[in-house]
Amino acid sequence: MSSKPRIVITGLGLTAPNGNSLGEFRANLLAGKARIAVIDVRHMGRHPAGVCDFDATKWQKRKEIRNGTRVGSISIFCAREALGDSGLDWDKVDKSRVGVYLGITEHGNVETENEIHNISQFGNDTKYWTHHHNPRTVANNPAGEVTMNMGITGPHYTIGAACAAGNAGLIQAAQMLQLGEVDIAFAGGVSESIHTFGIFAGFKNQGALGAHEDPTKASRPFDKNRNGIVISEGGAIYVLERLDDALARGARIIAEIAGWCINSDATDAVLPNPERQTECVRMALQRAGMKPQDIHIVSTHATATALGDIQECTALRTVFTDCPETRINNTKSFIGHCMGAAGALELAGNLPSFHDHWVHPTINIDELDPECALPGLVINQPVKVDRVDAILNNSFGMLGINSALIVKKYGVA
């Protein structure tokens, strides 16, 4: 990738179940504070879920909120906050040179289920089906809502990549910047999945829906007694630019995109394949021009399913041999699985490590599963390290989509 333009992160906006800014999110990660609620899921009763409490009216009129989607509001909040963080002079930006690339696990389930419920109150007569259904459920909805809110006239679309979507959005944006398709990209991942009972029911009937009497302990990757996924909503959207452009405007550079890989298992719809995951991580390292020893934090994807966690650990054990400076953590233990937002949020939570040199842990481990025992796994308490120069962010999804994204501290060779 050395002959291609270098891509940097110059802004970030997020909403997570335990924070509506990077500062709040990071403070809770270092303090070990999970925040998982218990919500009523249609047809299914009460289940733990990660709920965001950002103020949608900060950036949207109430009519926009009513007519749009929850994930549209999440996206607009994150994009607007990212813009503010970037220091861009928005009035002077050529909006036709701005792109919006948002990763999603799924879209349209929430709105479709709502309408099916709605017409069920009217004898299933479809004349009561809302005319807002199609604009709400087209797959580009969240990205399109961002463009309408912000007056962006460049390209926009979503990247459907199951739970690898957060990384996939960032990778797509980096590629479009390298191709010169846009000058500024808003990219990351978003999710409204807690509002669809179908996701809960699907995981439950798959034996993969997490539960615990204390909801903040329901998501416990790598713990021997883990019992599945806690579904969460959220979003993280980054401002990406070519390095030269960022330097020319005197931007604060948060990190540099160093390398990536997306590949496919081609084996099973739900069971991850550690061989392909290993290949994915190694290819990302190769493209970044790095060795495993150069990675100081591995942000794992692990979702607290019985087999998925072991499969990822198998892949990491294969790649990260003899890497005494490599720390491994997991953010889903705090916020659950934010689905399309997961990869983007989990990366965000680690970015301050470049400067504060703290590595947040994976929490809720009462008894470590021996099959998940990895050297460097940061358990329950944050650790201070001498330096953090590069972060590997894993994000995997159903149908065997794997993504590995490497970001590095700007200025490090």
Partner 1 sequence: MTKDDIKQVVLDIIADIAPDEDLTAVKPEVRLRDQLSLDSMDFLDIVMELRKKHGIEVPEADYVQLASLDSCAEYLHPKFEAKGK
Which residues are known to be catalytic?
A: 163, 301, 337
Least distance to partner 1 from the beta carbon of 63, Å?
A: 5
Least distance to partner 1 from the beta carbon of 306, Å?
A: 46
Q: For residue 131, state whether it binds partner 1 (rule: CB under 8 A).
A: yes
C-beta of 2 vs 121, nearer to partner 1: 121
Pick from 43, 46, 58, 61 the residue near partner 1 by CB under 8 A: 61
C-beta of 62 vs 384, nearer to partner 1: 62
d(CA 77, CA 340): 16
Amino acid at 286: Q
Q: For residue 123, state whether it binds partner 1 (rule: CB under 8 A).
A: no
Pick from 53, 90, 95, 122 the residue near partner 1 by CB under 8 A: 122
Q: For residue 114, state whether it binds partner 1 (rule: CB under 8 A).
A: no
Write out the two tokens for 66: 């009513």
C-beta of 77 vs 238, nearer to partner 1: 77
- Tell me the three state secondary structure of residue 397: strand
d(CA 194, CA 393): 23
d(CA 196, CA 192): 8
Q: For residue 67, state whether it binds partner 1 (rule: CB under 8 A).
A: yes
Distance of CA 45 to the CA centre of its chain: 27
Q: For residue 126, state whether it binds partner 1 (rule: CB under 8 A).
A: no
- Phi and psi at residue 157, to the nearest 5°: -165, 170
Q: For residue 92, state whether it binds partner 1 (rule: CB under 8 A).
A: no
Pick from 127, 322, 370, 411 the residue near partner 1 by CB under 8 A: 127
C-beta of 67 vs 227, nearer to partner 1: 67
Distance of CA 381 to the CA centre of its chain: 22
C-beta of 21 vs 67, nearer to partner 1: 67
Contact footprint for partner 1 (CB under 8 A)? 61-63, 66-67, 122, 127-128, 130-132
